Amino acid sequence: MKDLNYQLMKLCRENRDGSYSTQATRRKILDLIANQLHELGYRRMQAKSLKPKHIDALVSLWKERGISVGTFKNRLSALRWWANKVGKSDIIAKDNNAYDIGNRSYVGEESKAKILDEKQLEKVSDAYVRLSLRLQSAFGLRREEAIKFSPNYAVKDDHIKLKASWTKGGRARTVPITNKEQRQLLEDVKALARGGALIPPHLNYVKQLHRYERQTRNAGLSRLHGLRHEYAQRRYLELTERVCPAAGGLSSKELNPAQRALDHRARITISSELGHAREAISAVYLGR
């Protein structure tokens, strides 16, 4: 491991800001950045030697490679975190507009919905991981929520209840139970979890997450955030009796006033069920 990679990993271990998922993402981004700085010719860098020239070189590289606006912003966020931890927060602009990277689009131009492939699922040997994946598909849960899911706490008569400590941003929420397949899945989860979460008794969350990542990778399961897209689109059909724009349905401009009002209510409902605070985020999953 190169010196800079090691020092940044050490910096991450000593500063555990945010959820485990946030920390893991930050570690991966900083490791990538260290490799890219080495690629750019900065071979003897230390964590404390970060300078504006390094920021500028990275920004130019990312523009040249055409990364998405969202990825660009995530990398800048990691750079700001690094700069702040070594006492150099003033070397990187606080406003992303300074780097002329444009604005993130919140409208899905094409469907990213993904249906859980049963043949690939059969390749997942860990029963806990298989049920976490099924929860993601059936209820639109995020990965961390599905791993930490504890049926004794979560399962109610007509909905599931997610703890704030399981969710992104610490926003507790409920998701309705609307069909018998979901109810059967929850019974299966209860039988395996036996009063706990979807984590084997001898493991903790971090170790189970690593097992999840390894087994899904080996099974060829990728882009699993698409399961949330599929849930959102399925719920839109249930709530409006129409397919959403991202799946080929009518755009908002083509709806009559009554349909537009129903569309708006459905989007608010779906955004809430997915754990988002704004209706506008629904466009990522449903199109507009």
For 25-88, the DSSP string reads HHHHHHHHHHHHHHHTT-TT--GGG--HHHHHHHHHHHHHHT--HHHHHHHHHHHHHHHHHTT-
* Angle, CA 127 vertex, CA 125 and CA 130 arms, to 5°: 85
In the prediction, which pLDDT does 109 show? 61
Structural domains in the chain, sorted by start = 3-99 (1.10.150), 124-219 (1.10.443.10), 227-286 (no CATH)
The CA distance from 62 to 70, in Å, is: 12
In the prediction, which pLDDT does 83 show? 96
Retrieve residue 257's tokens.
């006033």
Q: Which residues contact 268 (CB under 8 A, 6 or more apart)?
A: 279, 282
In the prediction, which pLDDT does 240 show? 96
First and final C-alpha spacing in the chain: 46
Residue-wise pLDDT for 221-261, tens only, equals: 998 999 999 999 999 999 999 999 999 999 989 999 999 99
The CA distance from 175 to 237, in Å, is: 16
pLDDT < 50: residue spans in the chain: none
**Predicted model pTM:** 0.71
In the prediction, which pLDDT does 285 show? 93
Retrieve residue 235's tokens.
């719920």
